[in-house]
């Protein structure tokens, strides 16, 4: 089933080969800086949902702890997403997001994708944050969280059936499995390459310099039940915030509001 999902992605990519080739050839020399600046300015005016993806780091990054009872345990990791979106419901529910690289989370998810799966189990949990959790978004957007971010006192979490962190109080949580390795976005020529050429393109792109992004596509296996966070002496406005989505708008965190009636 997962293989059919991956094949569908590959088919869609190859079905666009000719148009993408023409587009890339005609626009590769065109100046893109004004377009980037205009797009960035426009997107700042639109609100984006905020999520945190949680997973485990690869085995080689599993560091022994000082106490013997905790030695060789898996290390949980998380990263804040501002590009998360649903891209399909049929025939399989699919979501997508991008990560800036280099990234421990990107390496971890690609390592999970490279391992053969005997049964359907999740590689990650996408925690869709509530409006009461901007501090969680800030915490997981900091690159210095490694190696034990989930030991921070302000992060309350529980484990999923696959042993991955579900952040308590989130608006929702999705257990997902990546359908394949990430797709580099710094050079889209792999879209019209054969599979063999694509592997070579990926190696060339990964060897480039500077910050870039990689696209991850994942299949949703379960919509998890998220435990609520109860705070003593909670004010009604705080309770309401836990039912609203956390959004990123104009470089700050906010949430939705009602439009006044005319």
Q: Is residue 198 part of a domain?
A: yes
User: What is the three-class DSSP state of 261?
Assistant: coil
For tokens 């080739």, the residue is: 21
Q: Is residue 240 part of a domain?
A: no
pLDDT at position 186: 80
Q: Apex CA 95: angle with CA 248 and CA 112, to 5°?
A: 110
Maximal CA-CA distance, the chain: 66
Q: Is residue 28 part of a domain?
A: no
Q: Is residue 214 part of a domain?
A: yes
Digit-coded pLDDT (tens) for 3-60: 555 555 554 454 444 444 444 444 444 567 888 889 988 988 889 999 999 999 987 5
CA dihedral 87, 92, 95, 96 (to 10 degrees): -80
Q: Is residue 247 part of a domain?
A: no
CATH number at 211 reads: 2.30.110.10
pLDDT under 50 in the chain at which residues? 11-12, 14-29, 64-71, 204-210
Q: Is residue 35 part of a domain?
A: no
Burial of residue 83 (number of CB atoms within 10 Å: 0-12, 13-18, 19+)? middle
For tokens 């700042």, the residue is: 44
What is the extent of the structural domain holding 134?
Answer: 2-21+49-59+73-230
pLDDT at position 79: 94
Q: Apex CA 133: angle with CA 128 and CA 139, to 5°?
A: 95
Q: Which H or E run contains 41?
A: helix 33-44
Digit-coded pLDDT (tens) for 113-122: 998 876 778 9
Q: How many separate domains does the chain show?
A: 1
Distance CA 79, CA 133 (A): 14
């Amino acid at each position: 089933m997962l293989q059919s999902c991956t094949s569908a992605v590959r088919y869609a990519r190859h079905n666009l080969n000719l148009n993408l080739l023409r587009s890339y050839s005609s626009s590769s020399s065109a100046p893109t800086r004004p377009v980037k600046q205009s797009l960035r300015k426009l997107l700042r005016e639109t609100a984006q949902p905020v999520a945190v993806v949680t997973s485990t780091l690869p085995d080689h990054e599993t560091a022994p702890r000082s106490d013997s009872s905790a030695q060789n345990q898996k290390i949980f990791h998380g990263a804040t997403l501002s590009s998360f979106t649903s891209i399909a419901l049929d025939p399989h529910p699919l979501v997508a997001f991008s990560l800036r690289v280099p990234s421990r989370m990107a390496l971890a998810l690609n390592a999970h994708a490279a391992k053969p799966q005997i049964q359907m189990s999740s590689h990650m949990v996408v925690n869709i944050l509530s409006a009461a959790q901007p501090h969680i978004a800030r915490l997981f957007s900091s690159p210095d969280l490694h190696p034990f971010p989930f030991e921070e006192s302000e992060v309350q979490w529980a484990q999923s059936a696959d042993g991955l962190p579900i952040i308590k109080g989130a608006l929702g949580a999705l257990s997902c499995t990546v359908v394949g390795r990430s797709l580099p976005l710094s050079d889209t020529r792999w879209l019209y390459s054969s599979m063999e050429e694509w592997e070579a393109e990926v190696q060339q792109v990964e060897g480039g310099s500077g910050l870039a992004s990689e696209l991850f596509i994942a299949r949703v296996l379960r919509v998890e039940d998220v435990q609520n966070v109860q705070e003593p002496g909670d004010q009604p406005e705080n309770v309401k915030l836990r039912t609203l989505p956390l959004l990123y708008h104009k470089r700050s965190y906010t949430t939705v509001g009602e439009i006044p009636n005319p």
